[in-house]
C-alpha cells in the first residue's frame, strides 16, 4: 500500500483548487475535509521550516556552549586563554542560545503551524511572520555575539544588550504575534480550542514581561525583583504556555480521542493566567526584599498546584490505557514525557519555594537541575515531539529513519536523566554542607564534584542526541531523494476484523464501560 | 525616592529608598497580569467562549481523524471506531510523527 501522504506538494507556497480534489480523491476523502488542513499547512510552511532550521542550529551551538561551561566547573583550566570562552560569557551564551534560539524559535514555529489548523483557516500575514522570524533570529545572533564580546546587561535571562538585540527581538516577535492575531481574527470556526488561548496568551504576556524586565532605570535591589519577575514568568507565560498549547493538540490528535476533561483544561489555563505572575519572588527568599512580597510569592507558588494538577491529571488521563501508542508514535513519546516533566517540575517548584526547603536548595546545583527538568524535560521534549509530527506534513514525506529517531530519543532521555539525577544529588549535598557551620566552604565545593562529572557526561550525551536529530532533519529537508530511498516500507494498518470474536470483545468492553 | 537613578549615587544606608520602587514596579505589573486575565475571562464568558465545551474539545479533529486505524488499538476499539465513524482509513506514512514500519516493529 502506498497512499500519498496528506501533505502539501513541494516547491510552492499555495495550492490550486484542483490539487485539493486530486489529493482528496486519492485518499478517498471529501475535498472539504482535506482542504482546511492542507491549506493551513501550506500557508505556514516556509515560516515554520525556517524557524525549525534556525532553532536546530541554535540547539547545537547552545549545546556546545553548555558543555564547555559544564566542563569548566570541574576542569577550571579548560579554555581560559580567550576572554570570550570564559565561564561567565559561555554560560550566558548557552542560556540565550537554548532558551531563545532553540526553545523559543521551535515553539514559535510550532505555534505558527498550529494556529491555522486550530482556527480552520490559512496563516494570515505570512510575509509578516517570515520577516518577523528573520528579525528575531538576527536579534538572537546579535545578542549572543554581544554577550561573547563582553557586553552584558547584567540580569539573568536578560543579558543581551537592550539597545543592540532588543529592537530586533521586539519588532521580530511583534510581527510574528501580529500574524497569529490576524489568523485568529480570520478564523472560520466558532470554537476557540484551549491551545489557542495558550498561544495567544503567550504572545500577549511576553511583551509585557520583556518591557518590565528590560526597563533601563532599575537600581540595586529593584534589579533583582524585576529580574526574577521576568525570568520566572518567561518560563510560565512564554515557554510553558506554548508548550502546553502544543501538548493539548498533539496528544488527543495522535490518539484520536478528545482530551480527558476539557473543563479541566479550561481551569488549568485560567488558573495559570491568574496565579503565575506572583511566583518569581520565591527566588529571592532570604534576600533584601519586603517580607510580604516573598510570602505572597510563596503562597502563589503553592496555589500553582491548581493549574498543575488540573493540566497534569488531564493530559495523563488522556493517555492512560493507551500507552501502547508510545511504541508507534515518537511524537507521543516525546510529548507525553514532556507532560510528565511539566507535572514534576511544577510540583518540585512549589515545594522548593517553601522557606524550609529553599533554605537547603538555594544557591546550590539543585536549582540548575530543576530548571533543566523544566527547560529540557518539559519544553524541549514537547518541541521535539511537535517537530516529528509537523515536519513530515510540510515536506511531503515521512522521517527517513526510525533508527535515528530511536537513537535521538534514547540519547536525550538518558542524557537528561543522568544530568538531573547527578546534579540534584550534588545540590542536596552542597546545601547540607553549606548549612553546616562546622564545615569549611571548600567541603561544599568538593562534595559536588561527582555530580559535576555527571552533569558533563549528561550534557555530552544530550549533545550527541542533538547531532543525531540535526542530521536527521537535514536529510529530511535538504535531501528528499535520500529520505525517500531510505524510507522503510509503509506500515500496513491492521484491518478491522468483523469476526465473531471481535464482536464478542467489543461487547465485553462496552459492558465494562457501562454500555449496552 | 531619590531623583538620581544612577546606582553609584544612591545611598545604601536607607533601604526604604530601594524597597518602595521595587514594590511598585513589580507590583503594578503583577497586579495587571493577574487582573487582566480575570477581566478577559469574564469577557470571554459573556461572549460565550465557554459554551459547548464538548464541541470545543473536538474542534481539532476532522472526519479523517476519527476514521484512522490506529495500530495500537484493540480490535474492539477499532470496531467501536468503525461503528461510530464509518469506513476505517489507513494511516499515511509519518502519520504518528514517526518513520513507518520500524517504529511499530520495536
Q: How far is B102 from chain A (nearest CA, A)?
A: 6
Q: Decide if pLDDT at A443 tops 70.
A: yes
Cβ atoms of A472 and A408 closer than 8 Å: yes
- Predicted local distance difference test score (pLDDT) of residue A385: 97
Closest CA to A339 of A312, A369, A371, A321: A312
Q: Decide if pLDDT at A321 tops 80.
A: yes
Q: Decide if pLDDT at A495 tops 80.
A: no
All three cell numbers of A264, joined, read 479541566
Cβ atoms of A121 and A186 closer than 8 Å: yes
- Predicted local distance difference test score (pLDDT) of residue B33: 84
Q: d(Cα A357, Cα A332) in Å, to the nearest integer?
A: 34
Q: d(Cα B6, Cα B37) in Å, to the nearest integer?
A: 35
Cβ atoms of A268 and B39 closer than 8 Å: no
- Predicted local distance difference test score (pLDDT) of residue A482: 62
Highest mean pLDDT among A1-10, A32-41, A160-169, A227-236: A227-236
Substitution target in B69, B80, B99, B106 with the highest count of A β-carbons within 10 Å is B99
In angstroms, how far is CA A97 from the centroid of its own chain?
14
Three-class secondary structure of residue A466 per DSSP: helix
Cβ atoms of A304 and B72 closer than 8 Å: no
Substitution target in B20, B26, B28, B91 with the highest count of A β-carbons within 10 Å is B26
- Predicted local distance difference test score (pLDDT) of residue A9: 45
All three cell numbers of A306, joined, read 491548581
pLDDT band at A469; cut points 50, 70, 90: very high
- Predicted local distance difference test score (pLDDT) of residue A7: 44
Q: How far is A463 from chain B (nearest CA, A)?
A: 21
Q: Can you list the pairs that B82-89 forms with residues at least 24 positions away whose Cβ atoms lie under 8 Å?
A: B82/A496, B87/A28, B88/A493, B88/A495, B88/A496, B89/A27, B89/A28, B89/A29, B89/B64
Mean pLDDT of chain A: 87
Using a CB-CB cut-off of 8 Å, the residues of chain A touching B88 are: 493, 495-496
Q: How far is A132 from chain B (nearest CA, A)?
A: 25
Query: Cβ contact (<8 Å) for A212 and B21?
Result: no
- Say what percent of chain A tops pLDDT 90: 67
- Predicted local distance difference test score (pLDDT) of residue A154: 86
DSSP B88: -
Query: Cβ contact (<8 Å) for A494 and B69?
Result: yes
Query: Cβ contact (<8 Å) for B90 and A492?
Result: yes
Q: Count contacts between A and B (CB, < 8 Å).
A: 264
Closest CA to A380 of A428, A436, A431, A419: A419
pLDDT band at A289; cut points 50, 70, 90: confident
- Predicted local distance difference test score (pLDDT) of residue A396: 82
Substitution target in B74, B97, B105 with the highest count of A β-carbons within 10 Å is B97
Q: Decide if pLDDT at A348 tops 70.
A: yes
The predicted complex's ipTM stands at 0.79
Q: d(Cα A337, Cα A438) in Å, to the nearest integer?
A: 42
The reply to whether the predicted model has a pTM over 0.90 is no
Q: Where are the alpha helices (DSSP H) in A320-397?
A: 325-328, 330-353, 355-361, 365-372, 381-395
- Residue B89: φ, ψ to 5°: -120, 145
CB within 8 Å of A84: residues ≥ 6 apart: A90, A148, A149, A150
Query: Cβ contact (<8 Å) for A400 and B99?
Result: yes
Mean pLDDT of B47-56: 89
Closest CA to A108 of A213, A238, A211, A247: A238
Measure Cα distances from A376 to A93, A98, A218 in Å: 17, 9, 31
Q: d(Cα A166, Cα A185) in Å, to the nearest integer?
A: 28
Query: Cβ contact (<8 Å) for A325 and B70?
Result: yes
- Predicted local distance difference test score (pLDDT) of residue B21: 53
Q: d(Cα A387, Cα A113) in Å, to the nearest integer?
A: 10
Greater confidence (A32 vs A226) lies with A226
Q: d(Cα A137, Cα A54) in Å, to the nearest integer?
A: 7
Nearest to B100 among A189, A393, A490 (CB): A490
Mean pLDDT of A257-275: 94
Q: How far is B11 from chain A (nearest CA, A)?
A: 10
- Predicted local distance difference test score (pLDDT) of residue A507: 60
Cβ-count burial B38-66 (b if 16+ within 10 Å, e if not): eebbeebeeeebbeebeebbbbbebebbb
Q: Which stretch of A183-197, A204-218, A295-309 has the lowest confidence by average pLDDT?
A: A204-218
Task: Tell me which residue has cell 532570604.
Answer: A286
Mean pLDDT of A253-280: 93
Measure Cα distances from A441 to A209, A276, A280, A425, B39 in Å: 37, 35, 28, 18, 51
Amino acid at each position: 500500500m502506498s497512499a500519498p501522504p496528506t501533505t502539501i506538494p513541494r516547491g510552492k507556497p499555495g495550492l490550486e483548487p484542483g490539487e485539493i480534489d486530486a489529493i482528496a480523491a486519492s485518499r478517498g476523502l471529501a475535498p472539504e475535509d482535506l482542504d482546511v488542513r492542507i491549506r493551513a499547512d501550506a500557508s505556514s510552511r516556509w515560516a515554520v521550516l525556517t524557524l525549525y532550521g534556525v532553532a536546530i542550529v541554535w540547539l547545537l551551538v547552545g549545546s556546545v556552549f553548555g558543555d564547555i561551561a559544564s566542563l569548566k566547573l570541574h576542569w577550571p583550566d579548560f579554555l581560559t586563554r580567550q576572554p570570550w570562552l570564559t565561564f561567565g560569557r559561555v554560560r550566558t551564551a548557552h542560556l540565550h542560545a537554548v532558551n531563545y534560539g532553540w526553545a523559543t524559535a521551535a515553539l514559535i514555529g510550532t505555534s505558527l503551524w498550529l494556529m491555522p489548523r486550530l482556527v480552520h483557516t490559512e496563516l494570515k500575514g505570512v510575509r509578516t511572520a517570515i520577516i518577523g522570524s528573520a528579525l528575531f533570529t538576527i536579534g538572537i545572533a546579535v545578542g549572543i555575539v554581544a554577550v561573547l564580546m563582553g557586553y552584558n546587561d547584567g540580569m539573568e535571562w536578560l543579558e543581551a544588550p537592550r539597545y543592540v538585540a532588543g529592537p530586533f527581538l521586539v519588532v521580530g516577535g511583534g510581527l510574528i504575534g501580529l500574524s497569529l492575531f490576524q489568523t485568529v481574527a480570520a478564523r472560520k470556526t466558532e470554537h476557540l480550542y484551549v491551545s489557542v488561548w495558550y498561544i495567544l496568551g503567550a504572545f500577549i504576556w511576553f511583551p509585557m514581561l520583556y518591557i518590565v524586565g528590560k526597563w533601563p532605570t532599575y537600581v540595586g535591589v529593584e534589579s533583582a525583583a524585576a529580574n526574577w519577575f521576568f525570568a520566572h514568568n518567561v518560563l510560565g507565560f512564554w515557554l510553558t504556555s506554548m508548550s502546553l498549547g502544543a501538548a493539548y493538540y498533539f496528544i488527543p490528535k495522535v490518539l484520536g480521542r478528545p482530551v480527558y476533561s476539557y473543563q479541566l483544561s479550561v481551569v488549568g489555563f485560567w488558573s495559570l493566567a491568574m496565579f503565575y505572575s506572583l511566583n518569581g519572588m520565591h527566588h529571592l527568599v532570604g534576600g533584601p526584599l519586603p517580607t510580604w512580597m516573598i510570602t505572597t510569592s510563596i503562597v502563589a507558588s503553592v496555589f500553582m498546584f491548581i493549574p498543575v494538577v488540573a493540566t497534569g491529571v488531564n493530559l495523563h488521563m488522556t493517555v492512560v490505557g493507551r500507552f501502547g501508542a508510545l511504541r508507534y508514535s515518537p511524537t507521543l513519546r516525546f510529548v507525553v514525557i514532556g507532560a510528565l516533566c511539566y507535572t514534576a517540575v511544577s510540583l518540585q517548584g512549589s515545594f522548593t519555594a517553601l522557606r524550609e526547603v529553599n533554605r537547603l536548595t538555594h544557591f546550590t546545583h539543585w536549582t540548575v537541575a530543576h530548571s533543566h527538568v523544566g527547560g529540557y524535560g518539559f519544553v524541549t521534549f514537547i518541541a521535539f515531539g511537535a517537530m516529528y509530527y509537523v515536519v513530515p506534513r510540510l515536506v511531503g514525506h515521512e522521517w527517513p529513519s526510525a533508527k535515528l529517531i530511536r537513537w535521538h530519543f534514547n540519547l536525550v532521555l538518558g542524557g537528561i536523566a543522568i544530568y538531573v539525577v547527578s546534579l540534584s544529588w550534588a545540590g542536596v549535598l552542597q546545601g547540607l554542607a553549606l548549612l553546616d557551620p562546622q564545615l569549611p566552604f571548600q567541603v561544599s565545593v568538593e562534595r559536588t564534584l561527582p555530580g559535576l562529572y555527571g552533569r558533563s557526561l549528561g550534557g555530552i550525551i544530550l549533545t550527541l542526541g542533538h547531532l543525531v536529530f540535526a542530521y536527521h532533519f537535514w536529510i529530511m529537508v535538504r535531501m528528499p531523494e535520500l529520505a525517500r530511498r531510505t524510507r522503510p516500507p509503509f506500515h500496513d494498518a491492521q484491518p478491522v476484523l468483523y469476526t465473531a470474536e471481535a464482536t464478542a470483545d467489543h461487547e465485553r468492553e462496552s459492558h465494562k464501560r457501562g454500555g449496552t | 525616592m531619590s531623583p538620581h537613578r544612577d546606582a553609584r549615587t544612591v545611598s545604601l544606608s536607607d533601604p526604604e529608598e530601594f524597597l518602595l520602587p521595587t514594590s511598585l514596579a513589580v507590583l503594578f505589573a503583577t497586579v495587571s497580569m493577574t487582573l487582566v486575565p480575570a477581566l478577559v475571562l469574564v469577557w470571554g464568558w459573556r461572549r460565550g467562549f465557554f459554551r459547548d465545551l464538548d464541541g470545543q474539545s473536538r474542534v481539532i479533529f476532522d472526519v479523517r481523524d476519527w476514521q484512522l486505524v490506529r495500530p495500537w488499538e484493540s480490535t474492539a476499539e477499532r470496531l467501536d471506531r468503525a461503528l461510530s465513524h464509518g469506513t476505517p482509513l489507513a494511516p499515511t506514512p509519518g502519520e504518528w510523527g514517526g518513520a513507518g514500519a520500524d517504529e511499530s516493529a520495536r
